[in-house]
Structure 1
């Protein structure tokens, strides 16, 4: 990679502190939370719409980085006052600088590059092509779905001299984005996947979206697309005519006039795809997989790659789960399941995810041979060892002949090596994995899913899936509504509204939440014991819990004099942070305003009690019908809080807005806001926000029965079908938190993309569904709530609120956390 001195002209930058030596850049870092391999690393500070990494320049410097790119106007010279031994280059835009650096790096290499874009299937087509070609080329590709304005340049920076084919996907959500990515990838051939509805809102029309995506292919000699989308075919046919040659090459399942005409035939659980005298079989029958496989096949044929030699690989096309899953394991352990891939890029991503959730757990990595790195074996495992060491991995279990041959490069406290997964399972005991966070990562051929199932805590088949990406998205959605200096307090009380405890708190802490709030001291203790260091407010401190609160550095809410006096006695002069609640009209907890003078007197007499914040609860901030009352509450609170702060003589954080209020009362943001139900994907206000549901409650079909119209179903004989049909018995009941008021057709569940009404009364452990007109079988997944039916729909069906549905999911239901 270049030196920062060489980059100055290309980036049109200005040195704030010039380099003292001409040092080549070894690594580019953009995230101040992920400071690995800092030697000769370049940190690029970026101010986004929600976060500004210039805020953390000192943290980056303290971690050992000495080369910086900063954005003009987004830092102060005072921030850099101690950076005299560092090199700092100022540019107009950090993302543009990153993209330019990646473009320069790309042009150091002459390898052929395939670019993939479209609305659906980009990542699957990329990963399937890599699966098919791993023995034919030395491949480099995007890790997982790194296809954004930042993800693409970071992916292209992976290119090294040994690579013989690059396969990169690119995604856009609005006009004028692809022209930034095209020179970075600079492809020689292009693949267009299905053009669907994703990101339609960012474009004037589907034709504009296609035109923007086509900008990726400006330097391509040929582009492959499916002509079965007639409007796409018409667009490219016109371009071919204008160009005077056939740059755009089509495939089709519907017509024989395409360059590559395919016929398909379903054979049980497989599909046979035929082109002339060539037939390939794939282990899928769904339309999306067939489409993606045809796209891959068209590319191979166009490139004149010998497909006959790849037929076994088509039979073994992997089911791709691009998500990192966090599950509860035996012996108080946590499991991160990434058991379907093994490459350096995805290993680094998985280790970063592990770091976010490790807390005080010791770290174990179970790793297989890496089969398609393109590096020499010794160099590959030295790189892996360096990654593990940088992430403070204490225990490594290597499985495979290659990793075993290179065991001397691994310096963990404990290392074990086995030639096969079978040998590992026969030699180890579950009890050897207590109180650890365990990353399971291996090439698909090693069948590491067997290890995951062995270590996973066994519970019944109903699960509550928590999408951590959606959680972070919702946090950032609300942050975008706030003034830059306003802090965020996140509600993680009541098991994070049913979503989890330390798992949720860790991802929030990693995303620099300012405060966490729990209901009771015990909840705070769990977070502290899990390694959470973020300030924690306790909303309902009980007098007997004050010793615990003091011991674990928790901060109690104080709302009446009795609690205040008890805390004074328990603290015995020890300094403790407290939060004062004022009642501005809700008539629940809080000091009355006429008690303010007395409160100030007591606080002044006990200076060891440090008021961290003063706040109030708004009774109906989400409802426009009560805006007059809400505005009066806000005015009352602001006046009282200002008086309290003035009398105390020091600054105190002030907050009154909840999720509904954040969206509707921007002038009342004060110093901090409290984010509760909105964080979990439920919008309590009428203002439209692009929130994402973070949770899906899922179960499975245990049995299917044929039922006559004259037969009754379930307890009390309250269930009947309108005519002869069939029911599915699913493995969820009221003991799992499914409300009995959903019985007898009030509620429905999603079975194979169709809603199936609940029949009869919900039982303790199971429920019956009418699936008369639904094609399904035992073991099929059933969605209780998620995208459809949504949690709002379920709550409306029984006349309650989403809070109750979320918090009602039983603790016996396994929570599975995933990060895409």
Structure 2
């Protein structure tokens, strides 16, 4: 059965499930494989629970014509999703980058939702399973789609853009993350750049670019359409620009349209001030990206300001949390060298309240491969130079560093300490890779 026939079958049964525990009546079960499971083994059970068909790639499980045998179920999933995406002649925005992907996606969604019906990736469903699932949620009511794309190995972005077929795209930045999978920083740059490579191949492909990031600028070629944004007030006329006004600790900033456009239209009010609910001066780039996208799609400046002022971060990303005893800056969803340094730089700038002191609880940065020891020691050395005294380091990698800061084997050891000695009147930065589970700490602080 070719992809056209498979897609016709999907149109008759427009629900694909990859979880044999969730089998809506008349749906299609698709047997994915993982390191510890084989969906083919659950196909029969899925049919018994109500699925109309089961797509499998193991001929030994096929028992009747309700089983559809393919070469590779994951590739078939992508093919069906791509065919579905092609039914909609709408803008599709692809987003990738080392840091800030999800926050930028959510900010862009907030801005565009002021004017359009927007489909966006939920959570961080940004891999080769999550992207097809997102695309299959497209309906005729949607006017724009925002597809987040993650990568941990060379070629990952190429695979995802060939599935999603974006019409425009944005790389937030490139940094030293997932080095275990990429092999080197150059591998990170090349893989993220696969989004640009795809858009370059399209006649009207558009890139939204941080003009302050030399790595991203160097990826561009003269034949590419781009909309730049910058935090340099003296940038060239073509840039949407912005600058941080304060960060105490919530970020307040101002932005303006390109100077050339303002001069042509005779606009009297050049700067727009916005008070956000975001922690971290580093979020200025994510905010400007959302503004650039909004302006490109005709969202009014007042609508843009409204969206950014009312966006509230969730999921342990750049959140300010007030407890009975402390104020917390919670950024515990992910961590790599560049995001850790940015968080610490911002933490240094945040002013404490009267009677309050600063404290940091930092967890390991995962998937750095051979560079892990060096990168963790760099963070410890940065901390020593900052003058910050009360620091708890959590995890095996930080445990190997040369420092007198307090070390804990894991989050459970931290919890045990908090049961005995709970900090009070502290401004506490909680930052670490999701696998260190520091997101469990705020309720104890």
TM-score by length of 2: 0.68
Deviation of 1:786 after TM superposition, in Å, equals 2.5
- The residue aligned with 1:159 is 138
Are the structure 2 counterparts of residues 774 and 29 from structure 1 closer, same or farther at C-alpha, using a change threshold of 3 Å?
same
Provide the residue aligned with 1:229 in structure 2.
213
Distance across 2 between alignment mates of 1:215 and 1:233: 13
Superposition deviation, residue 114 in structure 1: 1.7
* Matched residues, number: 367
Whether 1:9 aligns to 2:2 is: yes
Partner of 2:429: none
Task: Decide whether aligned partners of structure 1 residues 792 and 100 sit closer, same or farther in structure 2, where only a CA change above 3 A counts.
Answer: same
Structure 1 residues 251, 809: CA separation in 2 closer, same or farther (over 3 Å shift)?
Answer: same
Following TM superposition, where does structure 1 have runs of at least 4 consecutive aligned residues deviating by more than 3 angstroms?
458-463, 467-470, 701-705, 727-732, 753-756, 787-818
How far the C-alpha of 1:232 sits from its partner, in A, is 2.3
Pairing 1:271–2:253 present: yes
- Alignment partners' CA distance in 1, 2:405 and 2:360: 21
- Between the aligned partners of 1:97 and 1:121, the Cα distance in structure 2 is 30
Distance 1:32 1:755, change over 3 A: farther
Contact kept, 8 Å, 2:171 with 2:192, in 1: the verdict is no
Is 2:286 the partner of 1:292? yes
- Given the alignment, which residue of 116, 131, 147 partners 2:126? 147
Inter-partner Cα distance in structure 2 for 1:468 and 1:251? 26
Q: Deviations over 1:207-240 (max 9, x none)?
A: 423432323424353111112122321331xx11
Change (3 A) 1:96 1:729: closer
2:56 alignment partner in structure 1:
70
Cα gap change, 1:812 to 1:299, in 2 (>3 Å): same
Residue 11 to residue 804, structure 1, CA distance change in 2 (3 Å): same
Residue 54 in structure 1 maps to residue 40 in structure 2: yes
Give the alignment partner of residue 79 of structure 2, picking from 100, 105, 108: 100
Flag the 1:175–1:793 CA change in 2: closer, same or farther, 3 A.
Answer: closer
Q: Which residue of 2 aligns with 1:179?
A: 158
Q: Match of 1:128?
A: 107
Question: Which has the higher mean CA deviation after the structures are superposed, 202-211 or 116-125?
Answer: 202-211
Task: Indicate conservation of the 8 Å contact 1:222/1:249, yes or no.
Answer: yes
Give RMSD over aligned pairs.
4.5
Report the CA distance shift for 1:119/1:216 in structure 2 as closer, same or farther (over 3 A): farther
Q: For the residues of structure 2 that align with 1:812 and 1:460, how far apart are their CA atoms?
A: 15
In structure 2, do the counterparts of structure 1 residues 54 and 230 end up closer, same or farther at CA, with 3 Å as the change threshold?
Answer: same
- Which of 15, 28, 33 is residue 27 of structure 1 equivalent to? 15
Displacement of 1:793 in angstroms is: 6.1
| Pair 1:808–1:169, CA change in 2 (3 A) | closer
- For 2:411 and 2:307, how far apart are their aligned partners in 1? 48
What is residue 394 of structure 2 aligned with on the other side? Answer: 786
User: Structure 2 vs 1, CA of residues 40 and 249 (structure 1 numbering), >3 Å: closer, same or farther?
Assistant: same
1:215 matches 2:193: no
Distance 1:801 1:278, change over 3 A: closer
Q: What pairs with 1:379-418 in structure 2 (closer than 5 Å)? A: none
Contact 1:227 1:233 in 2 (8 A): yes
Q: CA deviation at 1:816?
A: 6.2
The separation in 1 between residues aligned to 2:56 and 2:253, in whole angstroms, is: 53
Q: Who is 2:383 aligned against?
A: 754
Determine the structure 2 residue equivalent to 1:301: 295
**Partner Cα distance (1:703, 1:297) in 2:** 32
* Mapped partners of 2:174, 2:228: distance in 1: 14
Structure 1 residue runs without a partner (length 5+)? 1-7, 14-18, 324-339, 341-448, 471-700, 706-726, 733-749, 757-770, 776-781
Q: Could you say which residue in structure 2 is the equivalent of 1:317?
A: 311
Please tell me whether residue 40 in structure 1 is matched to residue 22 in structure 2.
Answer: no
| 2:375 alignment counterpart | none
- Aligned-pair CA distance for 1:728: 4.1
Contact 1:252 1:258 in 2 (8 A): no
Q: Secondary structure at the match of 2:306?
A: helix
Are the aligned partners of 1:95 and 1:150 in contact in 2 as well (CA < 8 Å)?
Answer: yes
Q: CA deviation at 1:784?
A: 2.8
In terms of Rg, which structure is larger? 1
Q: How do 1:495-644 and structure 2 match up within 5 A?
A: none
The aligned runs of 1:789-808 (5 Å cut-off) are 790=398, 805=413, 808=416
Change (3 A) 1:32 1:178: same
> Deviations along 1:679-702, whole A, 9 cap, x unmatched?
xxxxxxxxxxxxxxxxxxxxxx99
1:696-715 counterparts in 2 under 5 A? none
Partner of 2:341: none
Shift of 1:104: 1.0
Partner of 1:425: none
- Alpha-carbon displacement from aligned partner over 1:535-575 (angstroms, at most 9, x marks no partner): xxxxxxxxxxxxxxxxxxxxxxxxxxxxxxxxxxxxxxxxx
Q: Cα distance, 1:268 vs. partner?
A: 5.9
The secondary structure found in structure 2 opposite 1:262 is strand
Give CA-to-partner distance per residue, 1:634-680, whole Å, 9 cap, x none.
xxxxxxxxxxxxxxxxxxxxxxxxxxxxxxxxxxxxxxxxxxxxxxx
1:67-87 Cα shifts (integer Å, max 9, x gaps): 11111xx4624xx55xx4x61
Pairing 1:247–2:215 present: no
**1:279 to partner: Cα distance:** 2.0
Change (3 A) 1:322 1:26: farther
In structure 2, what is the Cα distance between the partners aligned to 1:316 and 1:28? 35
* Higher RCO (C-alpha 8 Å, min separation 6): 2
Equivalent in the alignment of 1:110: 89
Contact 2:59 2:69 in 1 (8 A): no
Q: Mapping of 1:329-344 within 5 angstroms?
A: none
Gaps of 5+ in 2: 260-269, 336-350, 362-378, 423-437
Change (3 A) 1:278 1:229: same
CA contact (8 A) 2:392 2:405 kept: no
1:150: how far off?
Answer: 0.7
Deviations along 1:170-217, one digit per CA (max 9) or x if unpaired, are 122223333322243222222221122223441551542343232342
